[in-house]
Structures are given as C-alpha cells and as structure tokens.
Amino acid sequence: MKLFLDTANINEIREIASWGVLDGITTNPSLLSKEGISLEKSIKEICKLVKGPVSAEVISTDLAGMLKEGRAYSKWAKNVVIKIPMTIEGLKAVKILTKEKILTNVTLCFSANQAILAAKAGASYVSPFIGRLDDAGESGMTLVEEIVQIFENYCFMTEVLVASIREPRQVTEAAIAGADIATVPFAIFQKLIAHQLTDIGLKKFIEDSKKIPKK
Ligand code: G3P
C-alpha cells in the first residue's frame, strides 16, 4: 500500500519525505487555507519536493470552471493530480480530463455507488472519507472494503485512496482491506512508527551494549 501525506505544510512534507517512505501528497482547500500561501505557489513547491502524485483540488463547481482549473493546474508540474468533487459536473469533468490524459482524484466519496461512478468516468483515484463517515455513525472501513471488492470484481483501474484518517489503526485496516493508498495526516504518520516496546527495547540494548568488552 502506498502512503501519502495529507497536508499542504512544507515542513511536514520535508520531514516525512526525509523518512524515505512517502509516495505522494493530498491537499484540499481547508489544508491550504492554513498555510497562507496561494494554491499555485504551494502546489509548485510541493511538487518540487515530492516526485509522486500531488492532489490539488479545483475550487469551481461548474463543469467549465473545473475544466479550466484542472487544465491550468496540470501544467504546474508533471505529478499534479486534479482533485474533483463527487458531483454530476465533477463526473463530467473527470471524463473529459481523463481523455486529455490528465490524472484525477474524485474526492468526498461516501458510498460504493459514488465510487463505481467515479471509476466508470475514468478517475485515476477515488477518495472515500472514512473518518467523516465514522463521525456520521457509519463505517468508513466497511465502505473501503466494499469499494476494493467491487473494483476487483470488475478490474476497474481506479486506485482506492483512503482519506480522512484519524487514527493509526485505520492505516493497518486500510492495508488489510487491500486499499491502494492511505493518505495520512502528519500527526498520525508519526504515530505509525511509535511503539513503547521499541523504545524500551532500544534503551535496554544501548545499556547492555556498554557492557560488551571493547576488545
Ligand atoms: O484530504 C481530505 C481528507 O483527508 C480530509 O480529512 O479529517 O478533514 O475529514 P478530514
């Protein structure tokens, strides 16, 4: 499973990129609004740091506007992926941009039927928002399992990008379900590596290493 970082913060991206395990980035207008930098500047800077796919979301909700933005973003860097909302206009935009060989990520997906439509339109990625579904009293991970199964049944090429992750266990569960990608917030990324038994074990090894004769 590929691991993306869900942020527009350059320092966070630099840090996780330095670990050598970062496959891509997802941003959204809410994440970008925290940075005080324009969308274009942010995405261009992120694309210089990360070679993998970088999702940049359109602001327009009408077809013409989404196409205009999508085409413009796609010229900023080779690895830009156009994030399009799960709407009828969005589906039309995905179909057209896909024909133009522009990569798309259908965002705000909350049902298997929406994911089927995104795949049929030719989306490169579909993003089920699992945390928000859990917040609404539904099961985000059940949705991921359903989408993975359906895409497997019909050999859909669209990759399942699990988004709105709130805790480390969800990364494990996404991998067990067979998701292609988990996009993980910075704080959760740091928790992926942490285990108190690792810390205790390392401390003991370091202490014991001092007792080994030098020669
Ligand atoms: O990238 C979009 C998604 O991950 C948003 O997460 O926590 O705002 O539901 P959240």
The domain spans of the chain are 2-209
Give yes or no: 191 in active site: no
Ligand 1 contacts CB of residue 85 (under 6 A): no
Our mutation pick for probing the ligand 1 site, out of 3, 4, 5, 6, counting the most ligand atoms within 8 A of Cβ, is 6
From the CA of 145, how far away is ligand 1's center (Å)? Answer: 19
Residue of 41, 68, 78, 83 marked active site:
83
Contact 25, 54 (CB under 8 A): yes
d(CA 100, CA 206) in angstroms, rounded, equals 56
- The architecture of the domain spanning 2-209 is Alpha-Beta Barrel (3.20)
The pTM of this model reads 0.96
Closest CA to 109 of 164, 191, 52: 164
pLDDT in tens, 113-163: 999 999 999 999 999 999 999 999 999 999 999 999 999 999 999 999 999
Given CA atoms 165, 171, 172, 176 in this order, what sign does their dihedral have? positive
pLDDT for res 190: 97
Closest CA to 163 of 147, 142, 189, 185: 185
Tokens, residue 115: 């994911």
pLDDT digits (tens), the chain, 215 positions:
999 999 999 999 999 999 999 999 999 999 999 999 999 999 999 999 999 999 999 999 999 999 999 999 999 999 999 999 999 999 999 999 999 999 999 999 999 999 999 999 999 999 999 999 999 999 999 999 999 999 999 999 999 999 999 999 999 999 999 999 999 999 999 999 999 999 999 999 999 999 999 98
From the CA of 162, how far away is ligand 1's center (Å)? Answer: 10
**Which residues are CB-neighbours of 174 under 8 A, at least 6 positions away?**
1, 130, 141, 144, 162, 165, 182
Q: How far is CA 58 from CA 48, 51, 64, 67, in A?
A: 20, 21, 11, 9
Ligand 1 contacts CB of residue 132 (under 6 A): yes
pLDDT for res 160: 98
Please list the residues that pair with 84 across neighbouring strands.
106
d(CA 185, CA 28) in angstroms, rounded, equals 12
d(CA 80, CA 26) in angstroms, rounded, equals 10
